[in-house]
Structure 1
Amino acid sequence: MQAAVDSGIGVDVSSVYELRDALRAGVDPARVVATGPAKTHAFHAELLACGALISVDSIGELAELEACVAPSTPPPRVRILLRYRPASNRASRFGMDEAELLQCLKRLATRRTAFTFEGFHCHLGGYAWETRVQAVHELAAAVGAARELDLRPRMLDIGGGLPVRYVEGEAYDAFLPAQTPDDYRTGRVPDSYYPYGGRTDAAAWLRQLLAAPCVGGRTVAHYLNAEQLVLALEPGRSLVDQAAVTAFRVIRVKALADGRHVVFVEGSSFSACETWFGSEFLVDPVLVPADPERGADGPRFGAYIAGHSCLDDDVVTNRILDFDRRPEPGDLLVYANTAGYQMDLLENEFHRHPMPRRIVVRTNPRGAMEFSPD
């Protein structure tokens, strides 16, 4: 939050607790947008009180906001976006279709003293810039409909996120087709993965989006400029690309009945959320021996990594990793570039184990490293 304040960028909040964090950090309420689909009455009330921008997910949510402002004298000016569900994402539970969007616009046109309509928002899964271009193309009709009702949209928020490259694209493309069911303790290769080795980074992604043909032969950039629309986006974990490492301490290594091995670590799968979605974190950890003199002269060693809870599915990686030596208790398994999803929502005190420690490393003006708790 403080980094957002220092950088002069806005903050997306999805709960009343994130909103309070943002305001305590000094974020300008005018630069806060609330996009969660299931906002509580208390969340709405605090958003209205501070003047934040609210992304309305449904006709029902708009009705709830109308009820919130009705008792107020004078009523607060409610700043809103309308959340659209693009054609490429029709099965999503987020947002509204074209007919629902138009119904909301007509209601807003009759409530100008209570509501300030600022534009449209959409939620799209995946990282394809092409689906965002198509969403902008579809929203052009909604922008026109809003202006016919004398509403003045100023923003298109195309959601998030932007891609992060964890490994080189060539290595990733060679790795994927070479996998077999024997590479996984489940005997099944996952159906999909986050694009760990995509060929496009966040900056190139944005350039491709803005340069793509969109409405009336114009590029997205030309359309936005001509219509005087601000492009908003939620860059997500790309903001912390190449930041942070996560270290798991090895507790023990166990041979299983099927001849395989499992490495138990001091940690849990809550720190590697891909396994929640039937996918897999494909970046290998670096094995750092507790004894730096212990060499790698022995045979290579295959094992998967499990957490320290009593859940059989508490698995950090189902993939059988190929180590250059047998991991031993006290060794560390270190994952690079993990700032994006190693956050509070993935941490818990399962079995009353303490929360993972966070350490901030800074370089002082003399070039020396300083360590401090986060």
Structure 2
Amino acid sequence: MTARDQAVREAVAQGVVGPREPLAGLLDVRGIRDAATALHTAFPRTALHTFAVKAAPLVPVLHLLAGERVGCEVAGPGELALALRAGVPPDRVVLDSPAKTADELREALAHGIAVNADNRQELTRLDRLTAQAPTASPIGVRVNPQIGTGSIAALSTATATSKFGVALRDEGAREWLVRAFAERPWLTRLHAHVGSQGCPLPLMAEGVRDTYDLAEEINRAVGRQQVRTLDIGGGLPVNFASDEVTPTFEEYARLLAATAPGLFDGRYGVVTEFGRSLLAKSGMVLARVEYTKTAGGRRIAVTHAGAQVATRTVFAPESWPLRVVAYDAQGRPKQGRPVPQTVAGPCCFAGDLIAVDRPLPPLEPGDHVALLDTGAYYFSNHFAYNSLPRPGVYGYASAEGSTRFATVRAPQSLEELVTESGAAHATGLSALR
């Protein structure tokens, strides 16, 4: 029995998933720790690795990663608050966002958190803020190398017209950047983020090389090593077709060393911002099958996992296909000759489908389906359609035939859902009549 199968069986046996809680997210703690180890092994020991909090904005996850010497890349005040609550040291936090308010910047600078300015106007705002109060924060500028689009346009952040960063190939932009650094000795970083899923490694490495070349140009122009750190944002794509981890952190690091040979020679500090590739393979969404039916000859299993947890898969199935594994009512691998079945979710629209005509052992009410490779983005970013409550998320550790679970996030109660939906202000609109 695999560790995953054992975890599913124990989740059912221990009531983590059952008739009252028919949906949960499960995280393999050992898998997360192994991914962090692989990341540290692939890059120079001096690199600062941060986790893109948007991939799993859950305090226990951030605390676990902090124990593995992985900091946080945050994109707003909420994510920053989570990182600080998780105990992540401020000097291991990086603030990236295209829409930072003055208050957000002021807080980051007060904590000594690294800041990457997204645009010229933000840099002007930082001029004022740094003049008002000294800061220990490393400050850089995000550039867009404009190198092109991957296979998923919405996740490609280095296109010619991307909303992120200073467009490096626009007329006059490079010259302005050199001047901006020459006029501001406190600017010591460059940041670029090419994309993640759908972006091949050579495209990502090209963006890093362009950023490295700009750092070299700036340092030559000012006559000193002013740019001392390169923040190479962007995560690795994840293989959703099998258990194989590909590409690996080691493959990417080797390619970076070949594409930008000076990147790892010791002159520059390196910051990474991986997200999906650290967690995806260690997570699954486990859902109970409530009903089965046929329609027009199609076999349909209605489960509790749909668009509310697998939003990207439901709305863009070609870009985000998921593997589905069938388990019986006791959480054991389902037996039987596979037949085409459609796995549907609970949301009230026809397209709420996880998989269409997928070969699976015949499913019955009370069985379970596991959506694999969902440790990042799936159970942590909830789509509140039909006011479906957020499912619980649990970490697990398996050893010697037993599995222990720890709560990451408790299931949302109906009372909490009602409160979140404005119950305290129930009469407010009526009072305006």
TM-score w.r.t. structure 1 length? 0.77
Partner of 1:109, secondary structure, is helix
Q: Which runs of 5+ in 2 are unaligned?
A: 1-61, 148-158, 409-433
Report the CA distance between 1:264 and its aligned residue: 1.8
Q: 1:226 to 1:277 in 2, by over 3 A?
A: same
Matches within 5 A, 1:1-374: 1-70=62-131, 72=132, 74-76=133-135, 79-88=138-147, 89-98=159-168, 99-112=172-185, 116-125=186-195, 126-147=198-219, 148-149=221-222, 150=224, 152-168=226-242, 200-210=247-257, 212=258, 214=259, 220=260, 222-226=261-265, 228-240=267-279, 242-256=281-295, 258-272=296-310, 273-277=312-316, 279-290=318-329, 300-317=338-355, 319-325=356-362, 327-345=363-381, 347-363=382-398, 368-374=402-408
Partner of 2:347, secondary structure, is coil
Structure 1 counterpart of 2:200, one-letter code: A
Contact map agreement 2:240 2:321 (CA 8 A) in 1: no
Question: Using the alignment, how far apart are the partners of 1:100 and 1:34 within structure 2?
Answer: 23
Partner of 1:158, secondary structure, is strand
Contact map agreement 2:286 2:369 (CA 8 A) in 1: yes
Q: 1:198 to 1:76 in 2, by over 3 A?
A: closer
Partner of 1:137, secondary structure, is helix
Partner of 2:214, secondary structure, is helix
Contact map agreement 1:117 1:151 (CA 8 A) in 2: no
Partner of 1:302, secondary structure, is strand
Higher relative contact order (CA 8 A, sep 6+): 2
Partner of 1:106, secondary structure, is helix
Contact map agreement 1:122 1:157 (CA 8 A) in 2: yes
Structure 1 counterpart of 2:165, one-letter code: G
Q: 1:78 to 1:111 in 2, by over 3 A?
A: farther
Question: Using the alignment, how far apart are the partners of 2:240 and 2:333 within structure 1?
Answer: 29
TM-score w.r.t. structure 2 length? 0.67
Question: Using the alignment, how far apart are the partners of 1:86 and 1:226 within structure 2?
Answer: 22
Structure 1 counterpart of 2:250, one-letter code: A
Partner of 1:344, secondary structure, is coil
Q: CA deviation digits over 1:301-331, x for unaligned, max 9? A: 32322221223333323x3211222x22221
Structure 2 counterpart of 1:352, one-letter code: S
Q: How many percent identity over aligned positions?
A: 25
Contact map agreement 1:237 1:341 (CA 8 A) in 2: yes
Which portions of structure 1, spanning 4 or more consecutive aligned residues, are displaced by more than 6 angstroms?
Answer: 291-295
Alignment partner, residue 48 of structure 2: none
Report the CA distance between 1:226 and its aligned residue: 4.5
Q: CA deviation digits over 1:57-110, x for unaligned, max 9? A: 11122123234345x2x4435532211111313232212123335424423433
Contact map agreement 2:324 2:372 (CA 8 A) in 1: yes
Question: Using the alignment, how far apart are the partners of 1:167 and 1:49 within structure 2?
Answer: 45
Contact map agreement 1:302 1:322 (CA 8 A) in 2: yes
Structure 2 counterpart of 1:209, one-letter code: L
Report the CA distance between 1:255 and its aligned residue: 2.5
Report the CA distance between 1:152 and its aligned residue: 0.6
Report the CA distance between 1:50 and its aligned residue: 0.8
Q: CA deviation digits over 1:184-243, x for unaligned, max 9? A: xxxxxxxxxxxx978532322322332x2x4xxxxx3x4124570123222222222541
Q: CA deviation digits over 1:253-311, x for unaligned, max 9? A: 2323x4323322113223222333453543431111226899856x7532322221223
Partner of 2:392, secondary structure, is coil
Root mean square deviation of aligned Cα: 3.0
Alignment partner, residue 429 of structure 2: none
Question: Using the alignment, how far apart are the partners of 1:39 and 1:245 within structure 2?
Answer: 33
